[in-house]
Amino acid sequence: MLFTSYEFLGFLAVLLLLYYLVPKRFQWQLLLAASYLFYFLTGPSNLIYILAATVTTYLAGWQIARIGERQSAYLKEHKAELDKEAKKAYKAGMKHKQWLCLLLCLLFNIGVLAVVKYTNFVIGNVNAVFQAVGSGSRLDFLDIALPMGISFFTFQAMGYLIDVYRGVVPAERNPFKLALFVSFFPQLVQGPISRFGDLAVSLFEQHRFDGRTVSFGLQRVLWGFFKKLVIADRMLVGVNAIVRNPESYSGAYVFLGMLFYALELYADFTGGIDITIGVAETLGIRVTENFIRPYFSKSIKEYWRRWHITMGTWFTDYIFYPISVCKPMLKFSRFSRAHFGEQIGKRMPVYLSSFAVWFATGIWHGASWNFIVWGLANWVVIMVSQEFEPLYERFHNRFAVRGKMSFRLFQVVRTVLLMSALRTFDCYRDVPLTFRMFGSIFTEFNWHVLWDGSLLGLGLSLTDFAILLCGVLVLIAVSLWQRSGSVREKLAAKPYPLRFAVWYGLFLVTLLMGAYGVGYDASQFIYNQF
């Protein structure tokens, strides 16, 4: 069920009505039923996957908590009998049992994700090897449909379990509450990947109807619709025209296409997140922000602290830190220090842990080599930039440009161009083709197409370009205004006629200028595929 469909709007209207009419103690149960209905409508068989993730995660979390309780009871009962070493040995043994519970659950759920998402990728690569060596053998691809949002709810469930193991959050004893956390429907399409300790606070609370809260939530939803329908889906036409016809559109078209895609992806993804957060807000539930003006970043590292924040923090907390401080890594670091010097030795944990994070980030986005190369390209850029930091510092010491508006603008433009260039791997979905098309920017001097009317052959009219230009200016203006606080809060303080004009105007613009397909259908969100 697409967020921008009539079906979803009807679903949300009925849910909101029931949510504030039922007794408050039944609100979370209603949300659970609505979430499972929402997921059922994406395909009845998909329920098997989310149920399996929920049940195994609940049982593993319950067992980890039970082991911890047994440990506490035993140590309390035998406090006088056990010396320090005995207590330490007993705790180590119980921790090992908890670790086994965690490991088995992780292997099962990550294994399910790997099978449904990556099996055909592996088969394709095996067949390519067979062909390369001249073998006639060939493996058949499996007919496995990728369940919607499986990467999101799997990571959310596994994050909860790891936090239980670490003692960050207590294990949820009510299996239905955990089921709601895993399946909360606004997040199933494209995240964010919430932490149990953050989302559970408001997810299970009783909420009274508050007109201001519901109004603010609907305003956020409308803003997401504007981004998606007016900007992203309109820009999609131009992106598809360029990317799907590489032989006809090269050189300057590739440069323009990568900028088009950067805008489309931003408007599409952030628009979807706006709808998610807005829907949750109408229900009185607080969902973590996932973007903080990423295209105002002055470096790639800063960009990734502002873009898809919950995914980045997930990989950092559950992959980067565990790998960088694990015993094999510390042992390898000592070996490197002894044989290659102090500077290289201390960098090794960072390099290798970052490599694992960016490889995982790439493969998470899709089961294909273009995503893997895209992830590792980000890793290379960040590592090189980190190594050049002393050089940057000497530059700033010699030239007093730090903090100047012109230099900050240069940094922002540089980051946008670099990220857009890396995203060409996402556009063309083929690594050799991506390098060839990107290279054509510098070898085919056809920049005249940008002003001789050729762009009208991309399927976008002058009116479309005008709407996109206005839309971009609105995005920039809102982002700049947002730096000093919530735009909705600021508008709420304005006189009613002005507030009405702004929101009603945005509604009309979205309704009249949105890019729709047959029957006023909108295109699917990009991140729904993950």
Q: Give the residue numbers marked as catalytic.
A: 365
The C-alpha atoms of residue 338 and residue 409 are separated, in whole angstroms, by 44
**Helix/strand/coil (H/E/C) assignment for every residue in 45-106:** CHHHHHHHHHHHHHHHHHHHHHHHHHHHHHHHHCCCCCCHHHHHHHHHHHHHHHHHHHHHHH
Please name which of 290, 160, 150, 285 lies closest in space to residue 214, comparing C-alpha atoms: 285
The whole-angstrom separation of Cα 104 and Cα 111 is 10
Three-class SS of 201-212: HHHCCCCCCCHH
Locus of tokens 């909360």 = 184
Q: CA quadruple 44, 49, 51, 54: dihedral positive or negative?
A: negative
> Which long-range CB contacts under 8 A does 211-218 form with residues at least 24 apart?
212/492, 213/281, 213/282, 213/284, 214/16, 214/281, 214/282, 216/278, 216/281, 216/488, 216/492, 217/278, 217/279, 217/280, 217/281, 217/282, 217/283, 218/278, 218/282
- Whose CA is closest to 147, among 107, 189, 175, 106? 189
318, amino acid identity: Y
Judged on CB neighbours under 10 Å (0-12, 13-18, 19+), 406 is: exposed
If residue 255 lies in a helix (H) or strand (E), which one and from where to where?
A: helix 252-282
Dist. CA 119–CA 124, nearest whole Å: 9
Give dist(CA 434, CA 421) in Å, integer: 10
Residue 464's identity, in one-letter code, is D
- Cα(332)–Cα(263) distance, integer angstroms: 42
Sign of the Cα pseudo-torsion (251, 256, 258, 264, in order): negative
Record the tokens describing residue 96, joined without a space: 């090992």
**Contact (Cβ atoms closer than 8 angstroms) between residue 374 and residue 365:** yes
Residue 478 vs residues 37, 266, 486, 490: alpha-carbon distances, Å: 35, 14, 10, 11
